[in-house]
Amino acid sequence: MSVDKDSIQTAYQDVREDSSETKWAAFNYLEDGKSIGLLGTGANYDEFLSLLTDDARIYGYIRVECGDEMSRRAKFAFITWIGSAVSALKKAKVSTDKAFVKQICNNFSVEIFESDITQLQEDKLVTEITKAGGANYGTGVRD
């Protein structure tokens, strides 16, 4: 498996950068089927969700702002998407191939493996990241 390390690393750093508006990066199998590269980046999570089609295998790196009213901070999720129409052989390759992407995108709070788009709605993602973050002592009101 070959990975376009430069494009993936650049997108990963862009998502992690506090001053960047980029909130997600998506990586997929290139046309040769033997290498993984950058599919796209963006600021709108719904744009990311639109990439998750039934025939796609996509790795996503997502930035979410969370915390309570006293402390907001960035948390990250690594998402592996396998569409329902992906063949069994291609599905099997994902489990080993994602290790190559995770070598680059190696800092995240939660890892999600999904093939049901409803489970990746933004509110559910925020809930999963908040749970992974531990205690949340906020009152909901800031003085």
Q: Classify residue 67: in a domain, yes or no.
A: yes
pLDDT classification of 140: cutoffs 50, 70, 90 = low
* Distance between CA atoms of residues 22 and 45, nearest Å: 10
Is 86 inside any structural domain?
yes
44-81 per-position pLDDT tens digit = 999 999 999 999 999 999 999 887 667 778 999 999 99
Strand order in the sheet with 110-114: 2-3, 35-42, 24-29, 57-68, 71-82, 110-114
Neighbours of 107 (CB within 10 A): 9
Nearest in space to 65 (alpha carbons), one of 41, 39, 45? 45
67 or 14: which leads in pLDDT: 14
pLDDT value of position 137: 58
Domain count, the chain: 1
Asked if residue 11 has pLDDT above 80, the reply is yes
The dihedral region occupied by 140, where left means phi > 0, alpha psi between -120 and 50, and beta the remainder, is left
CA distances from 38 to 41, 58, 113 (A): 8, 10, 19
Burial class (CB in 10 A: 0-12, 13-18, 19+), 9: middle
Is residue 138 included in any domain, yes or no?
Answer: no
Give the up-direction half-sphere exposure of residue 121: CA atoms within 13 A in the CB hemisphere.
4
Q: Is residue 96 part of a domain?
A: yes
Read off the pLDDT of residues 106-134 as tens digits, 9 standing for 90 and up: 999 999 999 999 999 999 999 999 888 76
Collapsed DSSP state (helix, strand, coil) of residue 103 = helix
CATH of the domain at 102: 3.40.20.10
Asked, for residue 137, whether it belongs to a domain, the answer is no
Residue 99 placed within a domain: yes
- Flag whether 121 is in a domain: yes
Domain range enclosing 74: 2-132
Task: Return the C-alpha torsion angle 87, 90, 96, 101, nearest 10.
Answer: -120
Could you tell me if residue 10 is inside a domain? yes
